[in-house]
């Protein structure tokens, strides 16, 4: 999903760049045609500027919004890449974390499972500091201070 978002953002940036170039060329042609007058015998610079400046401004503004949207797509791809995407495991998959995140077990404690949906593995008391290793939907793989690792629900840690 991350790669698709990045490729889509790059495609839209390329389309926006091409549209900007073609739009500016088209605005210049329209402004020249309007400034030449009905018979093409004289050139009115004020009419040329009056057509060119607003059209280029509006075109640049609209394409700026498109660039901003592609930047948001890049940001979302980055969030997915570092493991902060929510949703089900079918949407996000297994997301390895790129940095160490320390969490604490909430009260009254939590059962550490050997696998997602598996049997109880061991009990962690409330306040136990764990290191987050991996996210899979609402399940979080953690490592306890004694070296034991397993899965918790994300609602059981803070």
Task: Looking at the structure, tell me whether residues 103 and 74 fall in a common domain.
Answer: no
Q: For 88, how many CA atoms within 13 A lie in the half-sphere containing its CB?
A: 2
The answer to whether residue 55 scores a pLDDT higher than 60 is: yes
| Average pLDDT across the chain, whole number | 81
Q: How many domains does the chain have?
A: 2
Which pLDDT value is given to residue 128? 92
The answer to whether residue 81 scores a pLDDT higher than 50 is: yes
DSSP 138: T
Percent of the chain with pLDDT over 90: 19
Task: Looking at the structure, tell me whether residues 128 and 58 fall in a common domain.
Answer: no
Task: Looking at the structure, tell me whether residues 12 and 51 fall in a common domain.
Answer: yes
Task: Looking at the structure, tell me whether residues 57 and 107 fall in a common domain.
Answer: no
CATH of the domain at 136: 2.30.30
Task: Looking at the structure, tell me whether residues 10 and 59 fall in a common domain.
Answer: yes
Q: Which of 40, 63, 82 marks a domain boundary?
A: 82
Q: What angle do CA 156, 127, 158 make, to 5 degrees?
A: 40
Q: What's the pLDDT band for 90 if we cut at 50, 70, 90?
A: very low
Task: Looking at the structure, tell me whether residues 64 and 30 fall in a common domain.
Answer: yes
Parent domain of 66: 2-82
User: How many other CB atoms sit within 10 Å of the CB of residue 150?
Assistant: 23
What are phi and psi for residue 155, nearest 5 degrees? Answer: -75, -10
């Amino acid at each position: 999903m991350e790669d698709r978002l990045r490729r889509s953002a790059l495609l839209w940036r390329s389309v926006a760049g091409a549209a900007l170039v073609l739009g500016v060329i088209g605005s210049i042609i329209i402004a020249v045609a309007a400034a030449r007058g009905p018979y093409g015998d004289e050139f009115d610079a004020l009419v040329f500027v009056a057509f060119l400046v607003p059209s280029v401004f509006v075109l640049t503004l609209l394409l700026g919004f498109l660039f901003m949207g592609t930047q948001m797509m890049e940001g979302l791809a980055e969030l997915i890449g570092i493991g902060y995407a929510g949703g089900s495991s079918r949407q996000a998959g297994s997301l390895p974390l790129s940095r160490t995140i320390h969490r604490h077990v909430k009260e009254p404690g939590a059962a550490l499972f050997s696998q997602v949906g598996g049997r109880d593995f061991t009990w962690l008391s409330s306040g136990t500091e764990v290191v987050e290793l991996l996210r899979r939907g609402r399940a979080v793989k953690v490592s306890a201070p004694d070296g034991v690792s397993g899965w918790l629900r994300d609602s059981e840690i803070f």
